[in-house]
């Protein structure tokens, strides 16, 4: 089973689909979220916040 996240590329404003298994980390810097791939350290900058990405694909997170 594969899971894909849809994000908006910061540079172009176009949607991109990324296999969630390849994303090792997400960090926020101003208006951009940087997704870092597992293994090679390649990054991509997107406009959504980490919270928006997770909520869109996994539903609203509830706090204990």
CA distance 41 to 39: 6
Taking only the tens place, the pLDDT of each residue in 43-57 is: 999 999 888 888 887
DSSP class per residue in 14-48: -EEEEEGGGEEEEEEETTEEEEEETTT--EEEESS
Domains of the chain: 4-58 (2.40.50)
pTM: 0.74
Give the whole-number percent of the chain exceeding pLDDT 70: 91
């Amino acid at each position: 089973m594969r899971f894909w996240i849809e994000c908006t590329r910061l540079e172009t404003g176009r949607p991109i689909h990324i296999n969630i298994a390849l994303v090792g980390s997400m960090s926020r810097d101003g208006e951009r979220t940087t997704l870092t791939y597992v293994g090679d350290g390649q990054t991509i900058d997107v406009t959504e916040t980490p919270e928006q990405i997770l909520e869109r694909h996994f539903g609203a997170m509830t706090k204990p």
